[in-house]
Structure 1
Amino acid sequence: MGDERTTIASVGIDGFNLALPQGTGVATYGFALAQAVRSLGLSVEGLFSVPVGRDARMQEILFYEAMGRGLPPRRGPAWLRPILHRAAVARGLRVSQIPESGRIESAGFVDRLPRFDRLLSSAHLFEHAEQHFRRTRRFLELKVANPPSIMHWTYPIPVRLAGARNLYTLHDLIPLKLPFATLDRKRFYHRLVERCVRDADHIVTVSESSRRDIIELLGAPEDRVTNTYQHTPMPEVLAGEMADVEAIFGVRPCGYFMYFGAIEPKKNVARLAEAYLSTDTPHPLVLVGARGWQKDEELRLIDAMSRRAGRAGARIIQLDYLPRRLLMHLVRNARAVLFPSLYEGFGLPVLEAMQLGTPVITSNRGSLPEVAGDAAIIVDPYDISALTAAIARVDRDPDLRATLAQAGREQAARFSLNEHRRHLHALYSKVLATPPR
């Protein structure tokens, strides 16, 4: 990659999603981004919103406590917070560099927290930034000593890092494309992403589908929006370890279908369950659902359908959040992964399943056909009969499953670490070669 050390030097990445104990798709993106940046030979700096205090002896301890348990709740009455927010912003937010002594037992974070060359945190930074944007409709400017060459925000966060080129990743515009399917406050979200487009040194996204949306819906200039795609890191122990899914989860290898991801309206889980229950397959459906909007309502609907299906009700197994290592073992051993989402900016579950050689049935909306290519069965997510037929076809045809598994591995190779780092290097070089905004 030549001279990237002298032209870029270091890249900052926010911890907005990385700090969530149970993770998100954006957290996986942040982890993968840090891995790709480091593979370029660049320094990686993390910027978090964790309150770690002024005592250097306690800062590392408090940081890792928050990584494991979540951010501590704010103290004091709610009415006082706007006053405290304005006072904090007026006097300038303090940024602490967290010492890394090596004394913390951090091995449990290896699959979700990147290795940073410099770790920074400013107490409640992201909350302050949101309040500041609501009040002024401007991004909060943050100053740190020796800022990185590029600050790559993994989410539309209303902060600008002074002295750095600020890039913002907009994974999708789902609140504007499917406004009925998210709880985002639409006016606020629209102002926020419009301001990102206006003020950013560059906008990054992860599919051509999302890039088109950003250009068409937000009026972004085409030369200021770049699709880098992404890769998905697998837990290091996965390659040399075989988990006994029957002993752990009560299902046999290749003997169950699987959905994993948030359980919320846009994921289309209720239609998926209806289609599955319409088949005569003896193989159960395992739903691994992280917290999401209307999760309880969606699961109640699935329970009601299961009861109507009589004995078939026992065929749906519901699991909550799983650590990534166990989740990927379950994916690798599934008969097929079913992911008929109504819309995705990228669709990580599809890539993760193909990377592990698991057949995929997915939808023809958003970026999903782009990610799946010809390596999956693609259906209209609103057409329950088509989804039912696809499940039955994959269930009964071992040759088709073998073909999909092989094609999936080949398609997944198009979203490798090397491809991701190549796109990033071209993007960062381009941004630094143009005048800052």
Structure 2
Amino acid sequence: MRVCLDAYSIDLPHQTGIGVYARSLAAAYRANGVMVDGLFGRIAPRFDDPELAEIAFHRQGIVVGDLPLRERLRWFTDGLMGKVQASRVERSGTVQYRPVAERFSCLDGVLNAPMPLGRAQRHFAKTGRFLTVRLPKDVELMHWTMPVPIRAEGIKNIYTILDLIPFVLPYATLGNAEHEMKMFRTILETADQIVTISEFSRSEIARIFAVDKESILNTYLSASTEATIAAAPEDEIEKFVAASAGLQLRNYLLFVGAIEPRKNVERMIDAYLKSATTLPLVVCSSSGWLNEETITRLDFLSRSLDGTSRMNGGGKRIIRINKAKDADIARLIRGARAVVFPSLYEGFGLPVLEAMQLGTPVITSNTASMAEIAADAAILVDPFAVDELARAMETISSDDVTWSQLAAAGLARAETFSPKAFAERMRVVLNMPDRVRAKVPLTSAEGAPAGL
């Protein structure tokens, strides 16, 4: 059997949570003996010569205006028809793949269709219809790793709905809510199978869109933390955290994630400043949105607390690390005293799992999916209660017994989300009959998000 996954998140320069999911999903399919293609959406001229086609696919920065005239005409014709043809990118032996192995090593094959995600979204906004992609005949199943307004023609389509953040926290997101609501409804009405990644998200989808919960499959997910980092001796991790950020092993608190309203970074800072802990707070962040005031505050506190700490010979410090590599983030997690992740809303909460896999205790929220994923293997707090979060920071900083118990409990809990367990859940998906589709009501179900 041959399955295709969209490669939008795999093709990003920096790994995201969806990218981790896509790679884990590919590994789970492959563990079940399934061949996995990645469908890329790059703009590239088409050639009959496979070698030229492969080289063109890998060229960076091509825009529609760079294409030959016949290709530009095809681009506009495809747009009017709402149908795009995908072609297979064969390896000729000319292009070196080792420098870009992270993007392609999880795949058995590469397909490309000139449909950047923005193109599909604009088509849907203008016409109200999904863009259709024709895949090679040997592909039997298309699995979209996130909600997108695209459908593969003539084969089974599975969509993963990770969360419902655009509807539950609209003030913390960007985008067109009307278009997203219509897209989600269309997916729920037409998909051959709907997959999600937690019981919380499964309940939210059923609640907000008033659909049968039993028609949604929860597979959870996995995170393939690099085995070399998990197994590395402590002195190696100790040297890394000292050299990279001047930190001491197991002597700092760590936040990992984008800086955006949902991640609750402002309250985390408030709690840290209010707490009695003197461990540094390291904020390892990627780019986010709606975050100008938070970043300004982080930068100010980073400078001012560092100066105070130097004058007093110690004390609180906030250290910001921007856009670290995935392997370095894993090392920082492994070396931390604890990961602090007080998010307001998640479909899963990947940093919670990544920390547990590496034996690092976690402080996280008792709302949304985080309590479900962490269970009793973390300190759970009300993400709105600054005092409660401050006390949790103090406890994990000073109580070695609690620290050891949570480290052991986290490792045990992480086995629930191992690559093997994920592959077994995906085997169920492969063997499931198509879901019974139902009309999604135009008016969403009422009710507040659980725990908020």
> Does the TM-score normalized on the shorter chain lie above 0.5?
yes
Partner AA of 1:134 in structure 2:
A
In 2, Cα distance between equivalents of 1:199 and 1:240 = 45
Q: What does 1:23-422 correspond to in 2, within 5 Å?
A: 23-55=15-47, 56-66=50-60, 72-73=62-63, 75=65, 86-90=76-80, 92-239=83-230, 241=232, 242-243=236-237, 244-304=240-300, 311=308, 315-422=317-424
8 Å CA contact 1:28, 1:112 repeated in 2: no
SS in 2 for 1:261: strand
CA change 1:251–1:128 in 2 (3 A) is same
Match of 2:4 among 2, 9, 12: 12
1:148-170: per-residue Cα shift (whole Å, max 9, x none)?
A: 22211001111111122101111
CA change 1:236–1:397 in 2 (3 A) is closer
Alignment partner, residue 4 of structure 1: none
TM-score by length of 1: 0.89
Q: Percent identity, aligned pairs only?
A: 36
SS in 2 for 1:431: coil
Q: RMSD of the TM alignment (CA)?
A: 2.5
8 Å CA contact 1:34, 1:44 repeated in 2: yes
Once the two structures are TM-superposed, the CA of residue 381 in structure 1 deviates from its matched residue by 0.4
SS in 2 for 1:93: strand
In 1, Cα distance between equivalents of 2:268 and 2:230 = 30
8 Å CA contact 2:6, 2:38 repeated in 1: yes
Once the two structures are TM-superposed, the CA of residue 302 in structure 1 deviates from its matched residue by 3.0
TM-score by length of 2: 0.87
SS in 2 for 1:47: strand
In 2, Cα distance between equivalents of 1:360 and 1:317 = 19
Once the two structures are TM-superposed, the CA of residue 315 in structure 1 deviates from its matched residue by 0.5
8 Å CA contact 2:123, 2:131 repeated in 1: yes
1:110-144: per-residue Cα shift (whole Å, max 9, x none)?
A: 44544322210011343332222112212122112
SS in 2 for 1:16: coil
CA change 1:300–1:314 in 2 (3 A) is farther
Partner AA of 2:54 in structure 1:
E
CA change 1:196–1:372 in 2 (3 A) is same
In 2, Cα distance between equivalents of 1:240 and 1:99 = 36
- Deviates most, 366-375 or 179-188: 179-188
Partner AA of 2:223 in structure 1:
T
CA change 1:251–1:65 in 2 (3 A) is farther
SS in 2 for 1:120: strand
8 Å CA contact 2:364, 2:381 repeated in 1: yes
8 Å CA contact 1:94, 1:122 repeated in 2: yes
CA change 1:331–1:221 in 2 (3 A) is same
In 1, Cα distance between equivalents of 2:326 and 2:54 = 24
Partner AA of 1:252 in structure 2:
Q
In 2, Cα distance between equivalents of 1:314 and 1:433 = 54
8 Å CA contact 1:85, 1:128 repeated in 2: no
In 2, Cα distance between equivalents of 1:57 and 1:102 = 8
In 2, Cα distance between equivalents of 1:153 and 1:161 = 10
Once the two structures are TM-superposed, the CA of residue 86 in structure 1 deviates from its matched residue by 4.9
In 1, Cα distance between equivalents of 2:206 and 2:387 = 35
CA change 1:397–1:150 in 2 (3 A) is same
SS in 1 for 2:4: strand
In 2, Cα distance between equivalents of 1:104 and 1:280 = 55
SS in 1 for 2:45: coil
CA change 1:252–1:190 in 2 (3 A) is same
- Deviates most, 345-354 or 305-314: 305-314
Structure 2, unmatched stretches of 5+, are 67-71, 310-314, 440-452
SS in 2 for 1:289: strand
Partner AA of 2:25 in structure 1:
L
8 Å CA contact 2:356, 2:407 repeated in 1: yes
CA change 1:58–1:255 in 2 (3 A) is farther
1:240-272: per-residue Cα shift (whole Å, max 9, x none)?
A: 543422012211111111001111000001111
Once the two structures are TM-superposed, the CA of residue 107 in structure 1 deviates from its matched residue by 2.8
CA change 1:352–1:201 in 2 (3 A) is same
- Deviates most, 118-127 or 174-183: 118-127
CA change 1:61–1:229 in 2 (3 A) is same
8 Å CA contact 2:44, 2:62 repeated in 1: no
Partner AA of 1:289 in structure 2:
S
Partner AA of 2:369 in structure 1:
S
